Amino acid sequence: MSAHDELHAHGDDRGHDEDFGIHATFSGYMTGFVASVVLTVIPFWLVMGHVITKSSTAAVIILALAAVQIVVHMIYFLHMNAKSEGGWNMLALVFTIVLVVITLSGSIWIMYHLNSNMMPSMMDPSNLP
Amino acid sequence: MSEISNTLPGRGPHQPLVFHDTHESHPANGTLLGFWVYLMSDCLIFACLFAAYGVLGREYAGGPTAQEVLELPAVAVNTSLLLLSSITYGFAVLAMQRNQRNPMLVWLVITGLLGAGFITLELREFAHLISIGAGPQRSAFLSSFFTLVGTHGLHVTCGLIWLVVLITQVLKKGLISANKRRLLCLSMFWHFLDVVWVGVFSFVYLMGVLP
């Protein structure tokens, strides 16, 4: 009898694979949704209500809130954690983040300097050292 | 009964080889991991477009500036539509987990309508920009703007087509395992587009209109 139970339990286990390891919950989705709404409303309010006059401060706050919201989406909507898919999910994500950071920061850094060096003032011989 | 238990691995004294399936060495389902890797490659495409916008976003070439042409109220509505469609897709996944076919289909249809609303608003914005002479050929800013936002819109459109196909599949074949897998893939795709949109509305629209 115990063997039969064992077999049955094994069959059940296979059945669980139909969930594909994703265990979405209502509370999880609602947490993510409420957090996203808050994290969206704040930057829109900051910009549309002209709350912060200094552009650079506003930009830093907007980017920080966006980063937090992306993490919220990843955890609550995309069900990311260190254990999903045996850790390979997280590995692919970390690899991509590294490439994205290199692409974004590298492009903007290099092109900004390239831009500065292309300014017409650089062409003026009196400005040369 | 004892015969059966003797044939099972690990049962009885004459079974020298015992195999344990620990589920740790490889993921249970390769499809979702593969789809995740695809999403990451998509992420790199968007990173390149964001980088291009970051470099070119203030090059107006004497044309209209971001402050003049971008309308935040419309973007706020757009953002709400996409965020709502994300949570309704989540409800569809919850219904799918409980094997409730019809509630799931209703949530999927609502998701599709919200997504269609998003695309409609975005196309109207594009049409308006082009009509006032702020098309993609006007300046580097507008070229990179149309490329980045348009690529995201194209993704959402593809997601909508996929959604319609999946609704048809579920109507024809029911909630079979293959359809569940496809629905989960599309859910990742849909939520991922929302993640990209967070970057778009923050980086392009909100920071674009800052003085």
pLDDT tens digits for range B185-209 = 999 999 999 999 999 999 999 999 8
Considering only alpha carbons, which residue of chain B is nearest residue A46? B206
Q: 């254990």: which residue's tokens? A: A83
Return the structure tokens found at A34.
């409420």
Q: What is the pLDDT of residue A53?
A: 83
* Residue A28 half-sphere exposure toward CB, CA atoms < 13 A: 16
Determine the pLDDT at residue A125.
60
Min CA distance, A11 vs chain B (Å)? 14
ipTM above 0.85, yes or no: no
Minimal CA–CA distance to B91: which of A111, A105, A32, A51? Answer: A32
Write out chain A's pLDDT in tens, 129 residues.
444 444 444 333 344 445 566 778 999 999 999 999 999 999 999 999 988 888 899 999 999 999 999 999 999 999 888 887 778 889 999 999 999 999 999 988 888 788 777 666 655 666 555
**How far from chain centre, in Å, is Cα B66?**
26
CA closest to A112 among chain B residues: B55
- pLDDT at residue A1 in the model: 41
Cβ-defined contact of B188 to A100 (cutoff 8 Å): no
- A residues 70-129 lying closer than 8 A (beta carbon) to B: 70, 73-74, 77-78, 85-86, 88-89, 92-93, 95-96, 99-100, 103-104, 106-108, 111-112, 115
Task: Give the separation between CA B76 and CA B79, rounded to whole angstroms.
Answer: 5
CB pairs under 8 A between A and B: 156
Residue in B107, B200, B184, B109 with CA at minimum distance from that of residue B150: B200
Cα-based distances in Å from A19 to A11, B81, B191: 14, 28, 18
Can you give the pLDDT at residue B2? 45
**Inter-chain residue contact B210 with A70, CB threshold 8 Å:** no
Please tell me the distance in Å from B79's CA to the nearest CA on chain A: 8
What's the rounded Cα separation, in Å, for the pair A4 and B93? Answer: 33
- Domain B67-206 in CATH 3.30.70.1450? The answer is no
CA distances from A128 to A111, A118, A125, B81 (A): 21, 13, 5, 54
Q: Which comes out higher in pLDDT, residue A17 or B136?
A: B136
Q: Which residues of A touch B90 (CB under 8 A)?
A: 24, 29, 32-33, 77
Contacts of residue B70, Cβ cutoff 8 Å, sequence gap at least 6? B204, B205, B208, B209
How far apart are alpha carbons B158 and B165 in whole angstroms?
11
Query: Pick from A18, A73, A115: which is nearest to B198 by CB?
Result: A73
For residue range B36-81, list pLDDT tens digits in order: 999 999 999 999 999 999 989 988 989 899 999 999 999 999 999 9
Report the pLDDT value the prediction gives residue B211, as an integer from 0 to 100. Answer: 80
Give the type of residue at A110. Answer: I
Give, to the nearest 10 degrees, the angle between helix B101-131 and helix B140-173: 160
- Residue A119 has a pLDDT of 60
Q: Which residues of B touch A32 (CB under 8 A)?
A: 87, 90
How far apart CA B97 and CA A19 sit, in angstroms, is: 7
Q: Find the helix or strand (DSSP H, E) in which A42 lies.
A: helix A26-48
Residue B61 structure tokens: 């070439």
Say how far apart CA B64 and CA A40 lie, in whole Å. 27
User: Cβ contacts (< 8 Å) between A96 and chain B: which residues?
Assistant: 40, 43-44
Q: What is the pLDDT of residue B28?
A: 60
Residues of chain B with pLDDT > 90: what percent? 79
Q: Is pLDDT larger for residue A94 or for residue B5?
A: A94
Structure tokens belonging to residue A77: 């909507």
Are A33 and B25 a contacting pair at CB < 8 A?
no
**Position B9 confidence tier, pLDDT thresholds 50, 70, 90:** low
Q: B16-26 pLDDT, tens per residue?
A: 666 666 555 55
Q: How far apart are CA B194 and CA B196, in angstroms?
A: 5
Q: What is the pLDDT of residue B22?
A: 58
**Range B140-146 average pLDDT:** 96
pLDDT of A7 reads 40
Q: Which one has a higher pLDDT value, A55 or B150?
A: B150
